[in-house]
Amino acid sequence: MMKVMIPPIKCQGIKSKLVPFIKQVVDWSFEGRWIEPFMGSGVVGFNIIPRDAVFADSNPHLINFYNAIVSGEINGSKVRKFLEQQGEILSRCGQDYYYEVRERFNKTHEPLDFLFLNRCCFNGMIRFNRKGNFNVPFGHKPQRFSKAYITKIVNQVDYVYVMSRHSNWSFICQDFKETLKEISEADFVYCDPPYVGRHVDYYDSWNEENEQYLFETLNQSPGKFILSTWHSNQYRKNVFLETLWSKFYMLTKEHFYHVGAKEKNRKPMLEALVMNFAPKHPHEKSVEQPEQLMLLEKFAEYQKSERLVL
């Protein structure tokens, strides 16, 4: 089974489970940039490991966090120290401390506070109210920051740091319309917009007009693209696949999500990938660029030598 690198920040709609499927569909012959106008957690691009990439999102806190890693303001050691200290206070004071950090973050917008909140809030959700304040409640686990959990997060931060050091990645806070203005023929665009009518918050809302704009732009795009969207669940189907996207190629994959803890509440959802190039046969193995494997080796080296300066 393919190992998927999980990023330090989680978000709703994270595509970790679909990464192997997406990697199989990507046309690896692209020579330009990997462009992700809706990066969210970044899990897709971080597993593609492109040499040149633009990761964009309308949420400034996500982008600040990654820019702080790239600039070195945040690194594995700082994250470890911070989470050990904050996690210890959380375990003593419980939810009151969570709400204290939430209030602090809404004033200072410190990237480390964002990480802390993201990793102990309810379901790793990212949601901001109309004033632009983070408003997700506590996830009810005061003992959240165990040594093993912190080490996992530290490794996730180090991974992004090392990969970005060896590649040309930029993280930009901007609307998708801006990001899509810059596409060239050699680029590869991966789009994972919010679903119409869901996840509505200050930075993250989506309507038919946006979907239409995205369609028109990608339709004229000189580069190759993959769009992630939903196909259907047991009650509904995505009408835009028929009204807008039907002229392109499409692949689907069943995905299960849980409503509550019971096994009988495991609900199927069909996920779809839409693309403007003929995908390989699903049994054909996709070839990863050797350069990527080299970068993964560098990361292994870095981990072994603990913060070896490369």
List contacts with ligand SAM (CB under 6 A).
11, 13-15, 37-38, 40-41, 43-44, 57-59, 175-176, 192, 194, 203-204, 206
In the complex, what is the shortest distance from the CB of residue 68 to ligand SAM, in angstroms, rounded to a whole number?
Answer: 17
- Give the long-range contacts of residues 131-137, CB within 8 A, separation 24 or more: 131/202, 132/202, 132/203, 133/106, 134/61, 134/102, 134/105, 134/106, 135/102
Which residue is associated with the tokens 């930009």? 172
Closest to ligand SAM by CB, 90 or 244: 244
Separation between Cα atoms, residue 49 and residue 53, nearest integer Å: 9
Closest to ligand SAM by CB, 90 or 227: 227
In the complex, what is the shortest distance from the CB of residue 309 to ligand SAM, in angstroms, rounded to a whole number?
Answer: 30
Closest to ligand SAM by CB, 40 or 223: 40
Name the residue number minimizing CB distance to ligand SAM: 40
In the complex, what is the shortest distance from the CB of residue 290 to ligand SAM, in angstroms, rounded to a whole number?
Answer: 25
Q: 3-state SS of 205-259?
A: CCCHHHHHHHHHHHHCCCCEEEEEEEEEECCCECCHHHHCHHHCEEEEEEEEEEC
Closest to ligand SAM by CB, 17 or 80: 17
Read off the amino acid at residue 131: K
Closest to ligand SAM by CB, 41 or 86: 41
How many other CB atoms sit within 10 Å of the CB of residue 219? 13
Rounding to the nearest 10 degrees, give the CA dihedral for residues 133, 35, 44, 273. Answer: 110
Which residue is associated with the tokens 């038919």? 208
Read off the amino acid at residue 153: I
In the complex, what is the shortest distance from the CB of residue 18 to ligand SAM, in angstroms, rounded to a whole number?
Answer: 8
In the complex, what is the shortest distance from the CB of residue 205 to ligand SAM, in angstroms, rounded to a whole number?
Answer: 7
Closest to ligand SAM by CB, 14 or 160: 14
Tokens describing residue 303: 């981990």
Rounding to the nearest 10 degrees, give the CA dihedral for residues 249, 254, 257, 258. Answer: 160
In the complex, what is the shortest distance from the CB of residue 292 to ligand SAM, in angstroms, rounded to a whole number?
Answer: 18
Closest to ligand SAM by CB, 175 or 301: 175
In the complex, what is the shortest distance from the CB of residue 201 to ligand SAM, in angstroms, rounded to a whole number?
Answer: 8
